[in-house]
Each structure stands twice: as structure tokens, then as C-alpha cells.
Structure 1
Amino acid sequence: MVTTCRPDEGRRDRTVTLDEPTRVPKANADWFELAKEFGLFSAGRQFLLSINVPYPNAVDDTDVEGVWGLVELLDDWDIMGAGCAVGITGSQYGCPAFVMSALDGSVFVQGTVWQDSIGTAVLPSPHRVQSLRDVARLNVGKPYRTADEDKDTLAWLARQDGSRGD
């Protein structure tokens, strides 16, 4: 939902046009700069990546749930190219479709394809955005969520401005 947030809610974007011959390296550089600037990485360059996991008894490959996976950015990385090509951070080379979070939930990052560009949107302090708070609140207590997930969500909802969590 990062791309649905407005600039006055804190959202920042960087995009590269689809016809740009070096769009993947430029989009990678933009992603990295925004991730560093807004605090996506932990001290060990770890962050959370939303990963699609099939539901038990899934009917087809669209019957999935996004779960947070702990990942670490290695020295040799290619989020917008190779990561997309293998389906981890997108649908094909140069077509990002990912959501990331700082370990403490203090910043969300989304990669997407627009009509004429690809890019990265960053949302610092997402706990301040009412639409995200509403969705989080609706998910508390769902039968597929664990007690720890509900506890983490409630702690996220309890944040005050400037709070970066536990």
C-alpha cells in the first residue's frame, strides 16, 4: 500500500523511464540510495522482504499470502534485475514488484512498474498513515495469524511519532 500513500504522508519516489537503456542499474542505484537514506537496513544490512507463500490446499499460484522473510543484502546484489527475473523481487527482469520493511517497521519500501517507468517508493514512519493503521487493525485477531503477529501489530499501532520500536 506504499504507492497509495501521498507525499504529505511522507512518501518519496524515484523512477526511471521504461525506455531508458540503463533503467535497471539506475533503478538499483535509486533503490539503494533511498534504502540507506531512510533507514531500511539494520547494522548487518538486514531487512524484511514480503514473500508470497501458498496457502495450505492452494488451488492455484495466485492463492498466496505475503509473509515477512528476513533477508540480508550481500555485496553482490541486483534487486531490479536478477531478483526480479527469478521472481523474488518482481515478475521478470526489470519489472519490480516488492515490498520491504525495516526490521523495526519504521520504514516501508515498495518497488513497482508504472505505465511508463519503474521505481521505488519509500514511506518513513508508516505507523502515522491512517489507511495503513486501518488495515493493520483489521488484521488483528484473524484466524490465520499467530498471537505473536497480533502482539507485534498492536505494538506497531501503539507507536508515537519518532518511535522506532523495540
Structure 2
Amino acid sequence: MGTQERERKVYRPLWRAGLQVIPDAVPEGTIPFCFGYGTEDIVGGFSHAYDTPRLVERLNEDWYDLAVSVGLLDHRREFLLQLPQGTRTHRAALRHEHDGGSAPWRWTRGRLLERWDLMGRGADTAFLGVHAGHPGFGMLALDGGVYVRCSTGERGVDVLAVRRPDRSENVLRHLERVVADDSRYVHRELTAWIARWLAGRVPTP
């Protein structure tokens, strides 16, 4: 898939939702994925049932409050966002999570514009969720200091923040298990990416 196609199918819809994509600008050394965190790693979050009045508005408000309070956004309101590779939608990427092919998600740098609607128009793009009010995404501060995860369940939307996932013993152990797993369902590209990151990280004193 070419750059122009991704621009048309992915970046433009996200722009209309208030998110400017900045291609090829992910900081070197960024943790590949944030899996396996424990309750002790979580530093904030919220949940809303699907029948919550003004659901999209409440989700947007609470996400922004959380993002500001935990330091997800830098002074330019930039952060990293997990987007499906190519022009896959969020739903399609979930279907292919365990097919053993290429890694379904990649970090992409983004900037929050003055007018935005991530939980409504963003989720409705199908790249940040299933549809409006049913968002699904992972976000990471540029310095890796905090990870924010949004997911949908049977009854509602859950959002949580994880402090320093790159230093979490839970996350690191999980990534090591992924590298050691020789199952045919493991993404080889993802495994190699994680292995390189683990080998190159500087241990915390």
C-alpha cells in the first residue's frame, strides 16, 4: 500500500476527527507494545456504561482530563498512537492478532488539534474503534512515561493509564515470554521487534 492511499484512507479521516498524523516520527527506542501490566502499574482510569447520557461527550472529557493529568500529551499536544498497519481497520486488526503474520499494530506520532472528537468521529473512522461511542486504541507519551489504553466490553468503555510501561516488571516479563514463545500463532515480525528492543534497553538502576 502506497503513501497516498494511506493518506487518503487513514490520515484524512483522523484529521477530520481532530488528530493530525505525523508520519515517520516515532522516537527511537520506543517500547514496541504494552502488554501484561498489573494493577499495581495502573495510575488512573475511568469507565462508562454504554447507556451513559452524553456518552461520547463524557468519554472525550474524561479522556482529556486523564491524558493531561498523567502526562500523555507534550507541550505541542503530541503523543504516540497505535494504528493498524496498512489500511486495516481496528476490527480487522483484532481479527488478525493471532494469525502469525506481520504485526497488526504500529506506533504513529500524532498531534491533537484544537477541535477534536476522538471518541465519536475518531472511533467512527474505524481506526480508533468500531464506531462512535465504541472506541478502542492504545496511546503512549513520546518519552514513554505513560500508556493509555481504551477498550470496549460487553457493558461499556474502559480507559486506564499505566505508568512507565518500559520499566514495569510485569510488562517486561510478558515481552520476554512473547519472544520465547515458538507458537505458530506468534507474529514473527513482532517477536523480532520486541527482541531487538529488549536487547537494546538500558536497565533501570
Match for residue 163 of structure 2 among 101, 124, 127: 124
SS at match of 1:111: strand
Structure 1 residues 2-11 or 103-112, which shifts more? 2-11
* C-alpha distance in 2 between matches for 1:53 and 1:135: 23
Deviation at 1:17, TM superposition (A): 1.5
Encode CA deviations 1:31-81: one digit per residue, 9 max, x unaligned. Answer: 1111111111122111111011159xxxx8644621001110001111111
1:12 counterpart residue number:
44
TM-score (normalizing by structure 1):
0.76
1:110 counterpart residue number:
149
Task: Check 1:149–1:2 CA distance in 2 against 1; reply closer, same or farther (3 A cut).
Answer: closer
Indicate conservation of the 8 Å contact 1:84/1:90, yes or no. Answer: yes
* C-alpha distance in 2 between matches for 1:159 and 1:45: 29
Structure having greater relative contact order (Cα 8 Å, sep ≥ 6): 2
Q: Percent identity?
A: 23
The structure with more helix, counted as a fraction of residues: 2
Match for residue 132 of structure 2 among 93, 99, 123: 93
Deviation at 1:108, TM superposition (A): 0.4
The residue identity in structure 1 corresponding to 2:155 is: D
1:160 counterpart residue number:
204
Deviation at 1:11, TM superposition (A): 4.1
**2:70 maps to 1:38:** yes
The structure with more strand, counted as a fraction of residues: 1
Deviation at 1:111, TM superposition (A): 0.7
2:189 counterpart residue number:
144
Task: Check 1:159–1:94 CA distance in 2 against 1; reply closer, same or farther (3 A cut).
Answer: farther
1:72 counterpart residue number:
111
Indicate conservation of the 8 Å contact 1:2/1:109, yes or no. Answer: no
Aligned residues: 154
Match for residue 24 of structure 1 among 51, 56, 79: 56
TM-score (normalizing by structure 2):
0.63
